């Protein structure tokens, strides 16, 4: 399989580009995700010519404006350079399917970056790094996450699902102008979408019914599709989907086998087993009984098994 292109803060790959000449190597990115992701490393501070080592910068609030300034000398302001650089970078980011940012950085931090008042006192509202803010505003549908937050299994899984889905969208729908490509894509994502939001799934279905209206429907579909996947899937919704899938085995499984699947779904509902357990059973029986409709469903395998992400409640 061709690797998926994902942008990443260069220091997370172990590149010594930080202000102090160090790095922030993220082993999960370099040792696990790198099997599927081809990285595009970017260090905006180095790219605008700040050099390594360099004096540190921080976010400083000037009224309601967020500025990026030298910690010890506020007359050195890098806001405009970082903003311009982010805008210049956009065409190169057109084909990436995700972006992993370094947390807490005044340039790359996506969430809750510390900001200060001109006096040096902390400001009470955390901000987004200057470079990351432009990327977030300009590419709102691009899956983005901070490396630190990838330690949370749910955030990690949600990010990875969205990266793989973005890649699939580009390969399966954008590369094929026929309305049937969108219909087929929606069909394969049915249960995954339902697990995230039944309401949005239905709304997406209404857009698919207008697939032959062309480009604007695809745009609306993808926007809602990404919003749907960004919503965390709850245990209750997974349970509903699992029972729905069970219906496909109505005529092929023995009463005992069905009872055993039901027992596993109940155990998942009671948080005694991981989601992986009922999903693995479903996949197994779908393979044994050649239930292709289920085998084609992304829900049963939204990303490679080796990532082991569904090993959580």
Sign of CA dihedral 188, 189, 192, 194: negative
CB-wise, 105 or 158, nearer to ligand SF4? 105
What is the C-alpha to C-alpha distance for residues 187 and 244, in angstroms, rounded to an integer? 15
Q: What length does the chain have?
A: 313
CB-wise, 18 or 133, nearer to ligand SF4? 18
In angstroms, what CA-CA distances link 226 with 216, 229, 232, 246? 16, 5, 12, 27
Q: Does 147 bind ligand SF4 (CB under 6 A)?
A: no
Window 86-125: contact mask with ligand SF4 (x via CB under 6 A)? ----------------x--x-xx-----------------
CB-wise, 129 or 143, nearer to ligand SF4? 129
Q: Tell me how far, at minimum, the Cβ of 136 lies from ligand SF4, in Å.
A: 14
Nearest-CA neighbor of 165 among 307, 19, 12, 303? 303
Report the residue from 9, 79, 158, 197 that binds ligand SF4 according to the rule CB under 6 A. 9
Report the residue from 18, 162, 186, 196 that binds ligand SF4 according to the rule CB under 6 A. 18
Buried-exposed string 83-119: b where 16+ CB fall within 10 A, e elsewhere? bebbeebeeebeebbbbbbbbbbbbbbbbebebbeee
Q: Tell me how far, at minimum, the Cβ of 234 lies from ligand SF4, in Å.
A: 33
Site for ligand SF4 in 175-234 (CB under 6 A): none
User: Of the ranges 11-19, 159-167, 196-204, 241-249, which one interacts with ligand SF4 (CB under 6 A)?
Assistant: 11-19
- Laid out side by side, the sheet with 115-116 consists of 65-70, 57-62, 115-116
CB-wise, 105 or 310, nearer to ligand SF4? 105
Q: Tell me how far, at minimum, the Cβ of 44 lies from ligand SF4, in Å.
A: 5
Residues at the contact surface with ligand SF4, assessed by CB under 6 A: 9-11, 17-18, 43-45, 102, 105, 107-108
């Amino acid at each position: 399989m061709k690797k998926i292109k994902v942008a990443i803060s260069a220091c997370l790959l172990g590149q010594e580009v930080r202000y102090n000449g160090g790095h922030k190597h993220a082993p999960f990115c370099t040792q696990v995700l790198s099997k599927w992701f081809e990285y595009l490393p970017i260090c905006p501070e180095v790219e605008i010519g700040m050099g390594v080592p360099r004096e540190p910068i921080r976010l400083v609030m000037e009224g309601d404006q967020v500025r990026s300034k030298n910690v010890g000398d506020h007359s050195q302001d890098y806001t405009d350079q970082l903003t311009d650089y982010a805008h210049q970078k956009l065409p190169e980011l057109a084909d990436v399917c995700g972006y992993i940012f370094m947390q807490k950085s005044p340039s790359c931090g996506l969430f809750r970056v510390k900001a200060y008042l001109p006096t040096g006192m902390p400001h009470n509202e955390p901000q987004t790094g200057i470079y990351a803010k432009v990327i977030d505003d300009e590419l709102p549908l691009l899956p983005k996450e901070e490396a630190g937050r990838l330690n949370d299994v749910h955030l990690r899984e949600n990010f990875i699902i969205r990266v793989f889905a973005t890649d699939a969208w580009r390969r399966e729908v954008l590369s094929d102008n026929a309305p049937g490509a969108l219909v087929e894509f929606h069909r394969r994502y049915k249960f995954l979408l339902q697990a995230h939001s039944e309401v949005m799934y239905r709304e997406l279905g209404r857009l698919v019914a207008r697939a032959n209206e062309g480009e604007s429907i695809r745009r609306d579909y993808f926007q809602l599709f990404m919003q749907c996947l960004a919503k965390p899937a709850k245990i209750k919704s997974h349970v509903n989907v699992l029972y729905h899938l069970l219906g496909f085995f109505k005529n092929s499984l023995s009463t005992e086998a069905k009872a055993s699947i039901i027992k596993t779904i109940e155990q998942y509902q009671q948080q005694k087993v991981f989601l992986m357990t009922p999903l693995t059973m479903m996949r197994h029986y779908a393979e044994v009984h050649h239930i292709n409709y289920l085998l084609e469903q992304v829900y049963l395998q939204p990303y490679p098994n080796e990532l082991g992400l569904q090993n959580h409640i």
